[in-house]
């Protein structure tokens, strides 16, 4: 193979890599099951293309499990009223979210009631976002 061909193939692979990192909501989350979670924030990751936060949730059995919640990216969250300090480790929050299909403890957050009682939306792709 010629060096130009190898360079062209490598260029296409590198160009396509960011697109493969993004996923379809329907492929990962169950848009027909909207669940409510209450718990304490354990970690917040302001990253692109999605921001994640984690909360400890007490199950009916009394066992505490850590759930991950995916939201939109930082830019959209800011436009929806979030601030960098909207979620802090130790805050008690209520989250409405769509769980993963595979039973993993990850969900796509739709809305969050923050520790101060303020409700913010999380940019969920399934239902068209905030609604009155």
> 24 versus 119: which is more confidently predicted?
119
User: What pLDDT score does 41 carry?
Assistant: 97
Helix (H) or strand (E) holding 18: helix 3-21
pLDDT in the model for residue 18: 46
Cis peptide before 49 (omega within 30 of 0): yes
Tens digits of residue pLDDT in 85-110: 999 999 999 999 999 999 899 999 99
Residue whose structure tokens are 């193979």? 1
Domains and CATH numbers, the chain: 23-121 (2.40.50.140)
The backbone torsions φ and ψ at residue 127, rounded to the nearest 5 degrees and listed phi first, read -120, 20
CA–CA distances in Å: residue 43 to residues 89, 94, 120, 125? 6, 15, 18, 23
């Amino acid at each position: 193979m010629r060096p130009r061909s190898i360079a062209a193939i490598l260029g296409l692979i590198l160009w396509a890599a960011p697109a493969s990192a993004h996923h379809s909501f329907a492929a990962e989350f169950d848009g027909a099951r909207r669940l409510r979670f209450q718990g304490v924030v354990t970690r917040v990751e302001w990253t692109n293309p999605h921001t994640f936060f984690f909360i400890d949730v007490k199950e009916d059995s009394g066992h505490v499990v850590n759930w991950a919640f995916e939201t939109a990216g930082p830019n959209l969250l800011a436009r929806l009223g979030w601030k960098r300090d909207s979620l802090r480790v130790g805050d008690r929050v209520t989250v409405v979210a769509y769980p993963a299909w595979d039973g993993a403890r990850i969900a796509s957050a739709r809305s969050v009631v923050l520790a101060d009682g303020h409700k913010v939306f999380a940019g969920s792709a399934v239902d068209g976002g905030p609604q009155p």
